[in-house]
Amino acid sequence: MRVIPISLPTPFYIGPVNVYLIAEDPITIIDTGPKTRQTIEALRAGLRDAGFRISDIRRIVLTHAHEDHCGLAKSVRDEAKDAQVFVHDWESGLRHSRLQYDEHRVLLERAGVPEKEIQWMRHMYEGMREYADTLDDSDCVPLEDEAELEFESGSLRVLHTPGHTPGSCSFLREADRTLIAGDCVLKRITPNPVLSPDPLDPSRRFPSLAEYMVSLARLRECSPTLVYGGHGDTIRDYDELFHRYFRAFQMRQAQVIGLVKTSGVTAWEVGQAMFPGADDVHRFLAVSEAVAHLDLAHSESKIALELSGPTEVYKPVSGH
Ligand SMILES: [Zn+2]
Ligand SMILES: [Zn+2]
């Protein structure tokens, strides 16, 4: 099975995104890049170098529904005519408008994000929409955990690996233990478990960090020899990266627990203390990371949680 990485430009801070062409019938592309003119031109060029055109694509498989990965899905599908789009059901909230904003707003209020910041974040999301076309549920085939995507000479196994987003999926070629992991595994940076509503009960938060740690351990059990990530270089030593991620999580846990004061703190305050200079989208990512770690610490009874109106306030566990 020929897996051909194609690096595509994005207008985002993260830099280029990697999409993967499986050059075998049915011709499949894993992720598409964001919806910009430069990106689709680069995608055409990458396909051309491999001897293909967009019209040859039969399957568009999405690791997750962030704009940098899914933005061109509809355009590619429309141009390829018979192609189908595959994405996990739990990405539905993101598919419609990146975030179903009202649900997200509640989570931000609960995290103690000030009103003017919430307004600003809303503005930012609206801006992100131009980088992806909306896909309706009827446009998509759901990816099921453990399903096999069949090709002429083998298959890719779908692994539902939630954490970065609730519906993130990775794809394993068991024959040579090659893994295509989207933003679940990135070489240089530890992916952010993004603050998301729980797909099964949108009034609650998705326990992103706890789920993410389970997903990383599950991928480790696959003993991958080669991991293709959503950004940056290919990973040949997953074990080393796995340990590095866990050390980073432990250090962050200790830092977050250390920031919880007797007078009580919100996730927003913890995020600001961890990343004092955060600007732009990073203010959202800071609160997102704080919530993920506070949730985990609370679930392990290392900190206490109280409600103050709609806002959650964290305090040390009495006796600590
Ligand atoms: Zn992502
Ligand atoms: Zn990404």
Mean pLDDT in residue range 14-37? 97
Q: Which of 80-84, 123-127, 256-260 has the lowest mean pLDDT?
A: 123-127
Task: Convert the pLDDT of each residue in 237-263 to its tens digit.
Answer: 999 999 999 999 999 999 999 999 999
Task: Convert the pLDDT of each residue in 103-112 to its tens digit.
Answer: 788 999 999 9
DSSP 264-309: -B-HHHHHHHHSTT--THHHHHHHHHHHHHHHHHHHTTSEEEEEET
68 CA to centre of ligand 2 in angstroms: 6
70 CA to centre of ligand 1 in angstroms: 10
264 CA to centre of ligand 1 in angstroms: 31
Dist. CA 284–CA 108, nearest whole Å: 9
Bridge partner residues of 93 (DSSP): none
167 CA to centre of ligand 2 in angstroms: 14
The topology (CATH level 3) of 3-316 is: Metallo-beta-lactamase; Chain A (3.60.15)
Instruction: Using alpha carbons only, give the angle 68, 7, 76 rounded to the nearest 5 degrees.
Output: 60
Dist. CA 290–CA 113, nearest whole Å: 12
* Distinct helix (H) and strand (E) counts, the chain: 10, 15
Which comes out higher in pLDDT, residue 19 or 125?
Answer: 19
The bound ligand whose nearest atom lies closest to the alpha carbon of 168 is 1
223 CA to centre of ligand 1 in angstroms: 23
94 CA to centre of ligand 1 in angstroms: 11
The full set of domain ranges for the chain reads 3-316
Which comes out higher in pLDDT, residue 305 or 139?
Answer: 305
pLDDT at 98: 47
pLDDT at 234: 96
The bound ligand whose nearest atom lies closest to the alpha carbon of 19 is 2
pLDDT at 190 over 90: no
24 CA to centre of ligand 1 in angstroms: 26
76 CA to centre of ligand 2 in angstroms: 18
Which comes out higher in pLDDT, residue 75 or 133?
Answer: 75
pLDDT at 318 over 70: yes
176 CA to centre of ligand 2 in angstroms: 25
